[in-house]
Amino acid sequence: MSAGELSDHFAVSKPTMSAHFAVLQVAGLIEAEKSGRTIIYRLVMSVLEEALLGFAHTLGWGLESKRSTRVNHNKVAKRPVKGEA
């Protein structure tokens, strides 16, 4: 999708959307391809998946067993209570 097409779905201007896409592109999360005067953006799923898995791992949201293919969506990250180690 182009920045213009996507900005139609959000309360931001096309230039603002393009600026956000520039940041995402530098981070490697999206790729851009010029088509005439339009730039088409695509997610780089492998990078997004790696980022999400890293985030989930940091929060302890991993799979309980390597054999399990189900994810426990009810699992809540536990934070240490202040003053406890």
* pLDDT tens-place string over residues 42-81: 888 888 788 888 888 888 887 554 444 454 544 544 445 5
Asked if residue 31 belongs to a domain, the reply is yes
54-76 burial: b if 16+ Cβ within 10 Å, else e: eeeeeeebeeeeeeeeeeeeeee
Spatial distance between the Cα atoms of 75 and 85, rounded to a whole number of angstroms? 21
> For the residues 13-42, what does the mean pLDDT come to?
88
Count of domains observed in the chain:
1
Contact indicator for 41, 1 with CB cutoff of 8 Å: yes
Contact indicator for 77, 61 with CB cutoff of 8 Å: yes
Give the pTM: 0.54
Asked if residue 54 belongs to a domain, the reply is no
Domain that holds residue 8: 3-43
**Among 16, 47, 48, CA closest to 3:** 16
Asked if residue 81 belongs to a domain, the reply is no
Percent of the chain residues topping a pLDDT of 90: 8
* pLDDT for position 82: 56
